[in-house]
Chains A and B, each alone.
Chain A
Amino acid sequence: MIMNDIFQLQQNIAYTTAETILEYCYLLAAVFFVIGLKLQNKPDTARRGNIWAGAGMFLAAIATVLLQTDSHGNGITNLGIIFLSILAASIIGWYIARKVKMTAMPQLVSFFNATGGAASAIISFMGFFETSLQDKGTILVSLLGILVGSVAFSGSMIAYGKLEGKVGDIRSGLMKFVNFGLLLVSIALIVILMTVSQHTPLVTLLMFGLLFISLLYGVMFVMPIGGADMPVVISLLNAFTGIAAALTGFLYGNYAMILGGILVGSAGTILTVVMCNAMNRSLLNVIIGAFGGSEGPQGESGGIIKEIQAGDAAVLMSYSSTVTIVPGYGLAVSQAQHTVHELEKLLESKGVTVKYAIHPVAGRMPGHMNVLLAEADVSYSKLVEMDDINPEMEQTNVVVIIGANDVVNPAAINSPGSPIYGMPIIRADLAKNVIVMKRGMGKGYAGIENPLFYLDQTRMLFGNAKDSIQKLIAEIKSL
């Protein structure tokens, strides 16, 4: 009898030990996430920070496989399938992440964000059917998990498609109402599903309805938002994925998931706000998608466009004392970062001081341009942020704008009617000479006229950015 008791006691302790170790592994993982994010605040330690966070994730996953037990004390089974899924996804994820070009980075982040959202939606969806319908709290959490996870998934896929140029914009005043309607329907479905008391085929149907409406809402939510706002949207959807993961954590009472998810949720929200500030726009404004959609008063446009040939541009630049390059997405698209670096070195060898003026939202994401130029070995010290370069603009001989448009549009300062009025810009309009490299007279992502192109000191150099710069280099060499 006593032996039996002791035996039972030991068994209980054995369970408790595994469970305890698991919980503390999760705590450790959560601490690693926090340290990781903290270290990612500084360029010097950022890489280490990412490794810390990765180590935390690895620890959490391994500990779950080895130590997790359900309420009956059953451990993790189906180990073969789990191992295969993880292995296959690891290899594919690693391969994609290593192979994709640096210019495609934003859509890649969006794609990985989509997969995370999808996983949360699936787990929440399945969790619903395993939960007693009397347990209203858990039911609510799983329903919200489906909504948020699905929106994060389909929204991120659309953002991915837009950045790849595969999905266009739908801009219609009706979209606002459609979106609002979809949101209402999904909330109504959640309310209905909260009140049901039995798992019936109708409930299953309603669940698929919720899944479908949520996915559709994600699509419609991102559809009207223009390409220029994609970074904000991706950041916002990133926050959604975090929240979805946290909701899934509620379902399992898993603190590591809740903490990790909420950290991403709040960090993503802050990043979104920071990005909106950089463009001087409110989040609501971005989401409603007023940007470039309506034809507002355009300010004074028109005037004469003056072209310049590569030869003349080469002379102008080589005999200047200061040249400032303003890179934009056009540079990224034509993969011209290495060529630009070559141009920079050539000009420096002729005694010209070359700098890069980096707008906070140049490229497709904040910091995207820095990453691209760093890839091309451009020195860190040459990248000057907007606020530091603007006071020097009046003394600058030549500003070369490569594939940027909205971030140098003086309408943001001079014409209160303009949709981008109030957005901080690089004051290229103050420089003595401006050379604009552009493919054609197309408008920027905001879809508005740029008065800079019509200024007296502005010359246009039409063509693909990379080709134009290569021609410039050839001309400068032959001087």
Chain B
Amino acid sequence: MDAVIQFLYTYHQEIFIVALATFLGFELISNVPSVLHTPLMSGANAISGVVIIGAIIFTGHASDWLDILVGSIALFLATLNVVGGFVVTDRMLEMFKKKKNK
């Protein structure tokens, strides 16, 4: 029980953010036309690459070669998620744009 209280206390700010972000996510996504579902999924996927921050922090404070190696692999993968995700989303949306201008 103590551990639970301790957990709730230690992370009270984080839990605050989680609760509000959950509602925000629901609110932001409701009422999206189905045409945009695929690009939106792809765009959201790119945002889940925020783990890039964690990868930078881990690699940036790593001191032995194993940590550096593993960290840079994680960083590589996270960056792939971010860059690939945003570029592929842009490519999908670019076509909608082109159509609209005609």
Residues of A within 8 A of B73 (CB): 85, 122
Q: Which of A360-375 contact B (CB under 8 A)?
A: 360, 365-368, 370-371, 374-375
Q: Is the CB of B60 within 8 A of A267?
A: no
Q: Is the beta-carbon distance between A123 and B58 smaller than 8 angstroms?
A: yes
The 8 Å CB contact of A268, one of B44, B50, B52, B72, is: B44
User: Bound state CA distance, A140 and B8, in angstroms?
Assistant: 12
B54 touches A257 (CB 8 A): yes
A68 to chain B, nearest CB (A): 6
- Beyond A89-B75, A262-B18, A379-B99, whether A61 also contacts B52 by CB under 8 A is yes
- Bitwise, B40-76 to A at CB < 8 A (1) or not (0) is 1111111111111111111111100001101111111
* A431 interface contact, C-beta 8 A: no
The contact of A37 among B29, B76, B85, by CB within 8 Å, is B29
Q: Number of A residues contacting the other chain (C-beta, 8 Å)?
A: 114
Output the nearest chain A residue to B40 by Cβ-Cβ distance.
Answer: A40
Known A-B contacts A41-B31, A250-B11; A112 and B46 likewise in contact (beta carbons under 8 Å): yes
Interface string of B77-100 (1 = CB under 8 A from A): 111111111111111111111111
Complex contacts, B1 vs chain A, CB 8 Å: none
Given A85-B79, A251-B54, A366-B37, does the pair A57, B86 have CB atoms closer than 8 Å? yes
**B49 — which chain A residues lie within 8 A by C-beta?**
57, 116, 119, 245
- Tell me the bound Cα distance from A449 to B84 in angstroms: 39
Contact A85 B33 (CB under 8 A): no
B residues near A269, Cβ cutoff 8 Å = 25
Roughly how many angstroms separate A259 CA and B92 CA in the complex, as a whole number?
25
Q: How far is A92 from B96 in the complex, measured between Cα atoms in Å? A: 25
Q: When the two chains form their complex, are residues B86 and A53 in contact, meaning their CB atoms are under 8 A apart? A: yes
- Is B34's CB under 8 angstroms from A278's CB? yes
Q: A245 touching B72 by the CB < 8 A rule?
A: no
Q: How far, in Å, is B84 (CB) from chain A's closest CB?
A: 4
B56 touches which of A61, A234, A371 (Cβ 8 Å): A61
Flag if B79 contacts A90 (CB, 8 Å): yes
Shortest Cβ distance from B72 into A: residue: A85
The 0/1 profile, CB within 8 Å of B marked 1, for residues 262-273 of chain A is 111111111100
Q: Quick one: closest B residue to A54, CB to CB? A: B86
B33, B40, B77: which contacts A116 (Cβ < 8 A)? B77
**Quick check: is A392 within 8 A (CB to CB) of the other chain?**
no
Bound state CA distance, A100 and B95, in angstroms? 15
Closest chain A residue, CB of each to CB of B73: A122
Query: Contact at B83–A260, with CB atoms within 8 Å?
Result: no
Contact A112 B37, beta carbon cutoff 8 Å: no
Cα distance A374–B3 in the bound complex, in angstroms: 55
**A348 CB to closest chain B CB, in angstroms?**
15
Contacts known (A40-B36, A113-B81, A375-B95); A235 close to B88, Cβ less than 8 A: no
Query: Interface residues of B: mostly helix, strand, loop or mixed?
Result: helix
Question: Chain A residues with Cβ under 8 A from B29's Cβ?
Answer: 37, 41, 266-267, 270-271
Name the one of A113, A250, A270, A366 contacting B14, with C-beta atoms under 8 angstroms.
A250
Which B residue sits closest to A136, measured CB to CB?
A: B3
The reply to whether A105 and B38 form a contact with Cβ atoms under 8 Å apart is yes
Cβ of A417 < 8 Å from any Cβ of B? no
The docked-state distance in angstroms from the alpha carbon of A151 to that of B62 is 26
Residues of A within 8 A of B53 (CB): 60-61, 64, 249, 252, 254, 256-257
User: A122 touching B93 by the CB < 8 A rule?
Assistant: no
Kindly report which residue of chain B lies nearest to residue A137, judged by CB atoms.
B7
- Interface positions of A from 108 to 140, Cβ below 8 Å from B: 108-109, 111-113, 115-116, 118-120, 122-123, 126-127, 136-137, 140
Cβ < 8 Å to B, chain A residues 366-425: 366-368, 370-371, 374-375, 377, 379-380, 383, 385
Which listed residue, A33, A235, A259, A365, touches B17 by the CB 8 Å rule? A259
Closest CB in chain A relative to B76 CB, distance in Å: 5
Question: Taking the complex as formed, is A253 at the interface, i.e. its CB lies under 8 A from any CB of chain B?
Answer: yes
CB neighbours (8 Å) of B100 from chain A are: 43-44, 380
In the complex, which of the residues B25, B48, B96, B97 contacts A245, with contact meaning CB atoms closer than 8 Å? Answer: B48
Residues A238-297 near B (CB distance < 8 A)? 238, 241-242, 244-246, 248-271, 274-275, 278
Query: Whole-angstrom distance from the CB of A164 to the nearest CB of chain B?
Result: 16
CA distance A76 to B34 in the complex (A): 43
Q: Is A93 an interface residue (CB 8 A)?
A: yes
Quick check: A53 and B55 within 8 Å, CB to CB? no
Minimum C-beta distance from B34 to chain A (A): 5
Q: Contact check: which of A115, A136, A263 meets B21 at CB < 8 Å?
A: A263
Q: Is A478 an interface residue (CB 8 A)?
A: no
Known: A137-B11, A263-B21. A115 touches B94 (CB 8 A): no
Given contacts A78-B72, A267-B29, could you give 20 more A-B pairs where the C-beta distance is less than 8 Å? A37-B25, A43-B35, A43-B36, A46-B96, A47-B90, A64-B53, A98-B87, A116-B78, A118-B74, A119-B81, A242-B44, A255-B17, A258-B17, A263-B21, A263-B24, A264-B47, A266-B21, A270-B26, A270-B30, A379-B99
Interchain Cβ contacts under 8 Å between A and B, 10 examples? A34-B24, A37-B25, A37-B40, A43-B96, A98-B87, A111-B84, A116-B45, A137-B7, A257-B53, A266-B23
The 7 closest A-B pairs by CB, nearest first: A266-B25, A76-B60, A89-B79, A93-B84, A116-B81, A366-B37, A93-B83
